[in-house]
Amino acid sequence: MASKAQISQYHDRGYFIVDDAVDAALLQELAAAADRVAARVRSGEVVDDPDGIHLGGEAVEPAFISGLVAPEFAEPAFAQYLASEPIARYLQSFLGDELRMGWVHLCCVQGQYVIGWHRDTGGQVKDGSYEEEMEILGRYRKHFMKWHMALVDDPCLWIVPGSQNRFRTDREHEALQGGSGEIPGATRIDLRKGQTIFWNGNSIHRGVMPEAMKRRSTLMGGMIDHRSDYDPGEKGDHRWLLADNIRPGLPARAQRYYDNWRSLAEPRMAAAPSA
């Protein structure tokens, strides 16, 4: 489980970094599987479609791949990772014992990569009053935790420590509106291969790939406390997860995560029109 110091740092600064959230052998499997998955999407062998993962289609240059646990990719390592004991131990300290499936995505960018300053608050008010912003920060994804795990050294994430708990400054407001420029006190997160950062997406953050960096290969995961209310905006809430072939390929722990998610998501997704 997370230590008291890690829990304190997460609540104070919005993140903590660990070296032991993935087994060494699984890390090597994941790194190789990530390269194969990216190649399959790049060639069109597998199409990563939110409405349904399928074989054969148009070749594309992927930046993010979300359907990693789908059997069409034939890479069971990703589901094993999502259900792994090290991940469960860290999440338990923040979310409890009964989890709802979130996601595991692959960021596989080649070339330039810049995402401007933002908070992961979806369509929430971004220019509100103090009371409005603090209400959003106190409510949004309150029962949720996300993480990044580097499959190659990754210095791309920048975080403004502590910003998940407070109203924006004038400079931060300006950066959040335009997405660019520097913010005093921002910290670059330098992850080595195999390191994991657990972090609060309400923090002001950005993604910037250094010019000398050739590619980014990072797993981005999220999980939800199943005691919390269902949020239709939960990232990763894709129709492809409703396919009948998803659950049989998951490890037992991930099947429980999946069943929790599907029991809440299926009625709502079935009633909603496909995007």
Question: pLDDT tens digits for 88-137?
Answer: 999 999 999 999 998 999 999 998 889 999 999 877 777 889 999 999 99
- For Cα atoms 192, 87, 136, give the angle at the middle one, nearest 5 degrees: 90
**Closest C-alpha to 203, from 125, 120, 84:** 120
Report the percent of the chain where pLDDT is more than 90: 79
Instruction: Look at residue 267 in the predicted model and tell me its pLDDT.
Output: 77
pLDDT band at 233 (very low <50, low <70, confident <90, very high): low
pLDDT band at 190 (very low <50, low <70, confident <90, very high): very high
Instruction: Look at residue 33 in the predicted model and tell me its pLDDT.
Output: 98
Question: Model-level pTM?
Answer: 0.93
Instruction: Look at residue 235 in the predicted model and tell me its pLDDT.
Output: 53
- Domains of the chain plus CATH, in order, are 4-227 (2.60.120.620)
Backbone angles phi, psi at 116, to 5 degrees: -70, 175
- Tell me the per-residue pLDDT of 1-39, one tens digit each, with 9 for 90 and over: 899 999 999 999 999 999 999 999 999 999 999 999 999
Output the six-digit token pair for 182. 């520097």
Query: Are 181 and 221 within 8 A, CB to CB?
Result: no
The helix (run of H) or strand (run of E) holding residue 255 is helix 252-271
Q: Could you tell me which residues come within 8 angstroms of residue 247 by beta carbon, excluding any fewer than 6 positions away?
A: 255, 258, 259, 262
SS3 133: helix
Cβ burial, residue 119 (10 Å; 0-12/13-18/19+): buried
pLDDT exceeds 70 at position 236:
no
**Closest C-alpha to 220, from 108, 123, 111, 139:** 108
- Tell me the average pLDDT across 43-50: 95
Q: How does the average pLDDT of the chain come out, rounded?
A: 92
